[in-house]
Amino acid sequence: EVQLVEAGGIVVQPGGSLRLSCEASGFAFGDFSMHWVRQAPGKGLEWVSLISWGASSSYYADSVKGRFSISRDDGKNSLYLQMNNLKTEDSALYYCAKAGGDGDYGYYFDFWGQGTQDTVSS
Amino acid sequence: SYVLTQSPSVSVAPGQTARIPCGGHNIGHKNVHWYQQKPGQAPVLVVYDDRNRPSGIPERFSGSNSGDTATLTINRVEAGDEADYFCQVWDSTPDHSYVFGSGTKVTVL
């Protein structure tokens, strides 16, 4: 059974930093690209970032480009999101999600974690 | 960047059919994926590549895509189908990205 468990969400002040983690199990983690997707309270879903299998490529939404950095440790079956210079609009539930579909990056999200809440507030 | 448009809400009686549209320019040329999200829960993939169902998703859920509209159809709606439904596509312009619709709340009367 695929399981994705996120951790690291806390309350942080604007301009602060935060590192989220996601531990995966139940599949060959190193063989799949992985994503972060976020959802602000009462709002829709917003894709945040992608890291390819092998970590050779990464992509970011324009809203976080230059501030967030995605990484992975295949030996620990773990995905990370380093978030710097946080803004109030970054407050959201952050989900890690496994890439689904063909190609190096997949085209959809076939399994999701339960999410970790990040609140940016002074 | 690509834009997906969804109606905010759809209401349907139990046993009837719910049709949830997702609009986008020439969306018929893209592969559309659908997620169900119940309150307090993570999204669940219910249809991928326009019309395919992941393992464990009931046959009552189906998808279609043509022209400027993709549609998720739920036949014989049950109370447990009440949820938010999001459509999603992959977009290559200007860069590799994934786009979601704003979501449709399905209410079972």
B33 touches chain A (CB under 8 A): yes
Q: Quick check: B93 contacting A, CB < 8 Å?
A: no
Contacts of A105 in chain B (CB under 8 A): 96
Decide if pLDDT at B94 tops 80: no
Q: What is the pLDDT of residues A28-50, one digit of tens each?
A: 999 999 999 999 999 999 999 99
Selecting from B44, B49, B103 the residue whose C-beta is nearest the C-beta of A44 gives: B103
Which of A59, A95, A110 faces B42 most closely, judged by CB atoms? A95
pLDDT in tens, A65-107: 999 999 999 999 999 999 999 999 999 999 999 999 887 888 9
Q: Please report residues of B whose CB lies closer than 8 A to that of A50.
A: 96, 98
Q: How far is B40 from chain A (nearest CA, A)?
A: 9
3-state secondary structure of B77: coil
Exposed / middle / buried, residue A15 (Cβ in 10 Å: 0-12, 13-18, 19+): exposed
Examine the pLDDT at B64 and tell me if it is beyond 90: yes
Cα–Cα dist B66/A19, whole Å: 41
Cβ–Cβ gap A108/B86 under 8 Å = no
Residue B64: how many other CB atoms lie within 10 Å: 15
The pLDDT value given to residue A9: 81
